[in-house]
Amino acid sequence: MVGQGSWLEPVGVVSGADAAALVAAGRAVSLWQGPLAFSALRLFEGTEARLVPWDADLPPALDSLRARLLARPEPWAGFAATDPFVMGILNCTPDSFSDGGRHLDPEAAIRAGLAMAEAGAAIIDVGGESTRPGSEEVPPEEEMRRILPVIRELAARGLTLSVDTRHAVTMEAALEAGARIINDVSGLTFDPAARAVSARRGAPVVLMHMRGTPATMKGLAQYRDVAREVTAELGAVFDAALAAGIAPAQVALDPGFGFAKEGRQNLELMQRLPILAAFGRPLLIGVSRKRLIGLSSGEGDAARRMPGSIAAALHALARGASLLRVHDVAETVQAVRVWRDLLAPPTPLSPHPAR
């Protein structure tokens, strides 16, 4: 889909009143018919790149990509692609990088999941295997022992759940227990049976970009153009999912911040997030409390990175993301509500009353 062929990257992305004014003047166009707009395109052809106006004449293949930028994507998992929503992280693990051990007890995990939903999380993402850098694989039997009681109880309470797993047998069992969504950090590439599970069950899926495995990915963070290479590799993962029978409307995409990406690579990828918009699928962003927040803020304690995580989340929304995977649900939901209100058209001033 992407490779070394042609691709489009929206640039000059703006939001709110500025976007509306530029669109009204014909100097920009709405991205996905939502609150963001872009004024130009970076056009990639082979190894060459150049800037063109958003309405430039393009060859048919590129024109079809631009059409995806202009059209509103189909909803995913019942959520509109242009409306921001929050996914709460529920790690039922002893060793996750930020909250390992806090929710290993099923009762504690259930209470935490209910609290996230009450705070405004649209989805609760339940996982039983840490995928932090350097972590080793957890056997599916142990993974299921950790998460299935939690999923059953939260699903019985009416919550929308995703299962964070690389294992097909865990995906199947979690869906049977009441999960609706599969969130796989390997993009359904780790387990050869994973694509078939998603296709057969018709489950919405999050495909994430990662090189290698959590145990090996740190040594694979070498890029000449991180944004374009991630786009190309994620495009190959997307194509493989479609070839396996997964419907395009079932797919959301995640560029995988911190997974085989180091230091400023993560920042550049965040700054160029609109390059992923030409897939025409919702974008999930997971930067909550991660090392990239610590590098920018100077905060070494992951549990104290909530303010920086919210700053990054709002930046991602302003660059085309719609789904935020976070630890600090209540704080992020509040920030998103304010951000959305700030995007609304300004209220005209009332005239002064006659004297």
Helices (H) and strands (E) in the chain, counts: 11, 14
Task: Dump pLDDT digits (tens) for 283-301.
Answer: 999 999 999 999 899 999 9
Clarify whether residues 217 and 117 are in a common domain: yes
Clarify whether residues 17 and 162 are in a common domain: no
**For residues 46 and 67, what is the distance between their CA atoms, to the nearest angstrom?**
21
Clarify whether residues 48 and 96 are in a common domain: no
Tokens 């489009």 belong to 8
CB 145 within 8 A of CB 174: no
**For residues 30 and 72, what is the distance between their CA atoms, to the nearest angstrom?**
10
Clarify whether residues 168 and 242 are in a common domain: yes
Name the catalytic one among 166, 195, 289, 325: 325
Q: Can you list the positions of beta strands (E) in 1-45? A: 6-11, 14-15, 29-30, 36-38, 40-45
Clarify whether residues 229 and 160 are in a common domain: yes
Clarify whether residues 296 and 148 are in a common domain: yes
Clarify whether residues 247 and 133 are in a common domain: yes
Q: What is the pLDDT of residue 163?
A: 98
Clarify whether residues 150 and 246 are in a common domain: yes
Q: What is the pLDDT of residue 47?
A: 82
Give the long-range contacts of residues 268-274, CB within 8 A, separation 24 or more. 268/226, 268/227, 269/226, 269/227, 269/230, 270/312, 270/315, 270/316, 270/319, 271/319, 272/9, 272/227, 273/316, 273/319, 273/320, 273/321, 274/9, 274/10, 274/11, 274/13, 274/31, 274/38, 274/319, 274/320
- Please report whether residue 73 resides in a domain: no
Shortest CA distance to 316 belongs to which of 281, 272, 279?
Answer: 272
- Please report whether residue 249 resides in a domain: yes
Clarify whether residues 52 and 92 are in a common domain: no
Q: What is the pLDDT of residue 354?
A: 44
Name the catalytic one among 152, 290, 291, 305: 290
Q: What is the pLDDT of residue 76?
A: 97
Clarify whether residues 45 and 177 are in a common domain: no
Handedness of CA 44, 48, 49, 50 (dihedral sign): negative
The residue ranges of the chain whose pLDDT is under 70 are 1-4, 95-101, 345-355
- Please report whether residue 76 resides in a domain: no
Q: What is the pLDDT of residue 3?
A: 46
Active site residue 200: no
Clarify whether residues 174 and 234 are in a common domain: yes
- Please report whether residue 61 resides in a domain: no
What are the b/e assignments for 46-61, b being 16+ CB within 10 Å? eeeeeeeebeeebeee
- Write out the residue range of the structural domain in which residue 279 sits: 85-342
**For residues 30 and 111, what is the distance between their CA atoms, to the nearest angstrom?**
41
- Please report whether residue 117 resides in a domain: yes
What are the b/e assignments for 329-342, b being 16+ CB within 10 Å? bbbbbebbeebeee
Residue 65: C-alpha distances to residues 31, 62, 69, 76, 354 (Å): 12, 5, 7, 20, 54
- Please report whether residue 351 resides in a domain: no
- Please report whether residue 66 resides in a domain: no
**For residues 337 and 284, what is the distance between their CA atoms, to the nearest angstrom?**
18
Roughly what angle, to the nearest 10 degrees, separates helices 168-177 and 194-201?
A: 30
- Please report whether residue 149 resides in a domain: yes
Handedness of CA 136, 141, 142, 146 (dihedral sign): positive
Active site residue 325: yes
**For residues 104 and 277, what is the distance between their CA atoms, to the nearest angstrom?**
37
Q: What is the pLDDT of residue 261?
A: 95
Shortest CA distance to 320 belongs to which of 20, 108, 61, 9?
Answer: 9
Take residue 23 and report the two structure tokens written for it: 């669109």
The count of domains in the chain is 2
Q: pTM for the full model?
A: 0.92
Q: What is the pLDDT of residue 348?
A: 57
Task: Dump pLDDT digits (tens) for 216-237.
Answer: 999 999 999 999 999 999 999 9
Clarify whether residues 90 and 25 are in a common domain: no
Tell me the CATH number at 193.
3.20.20.20
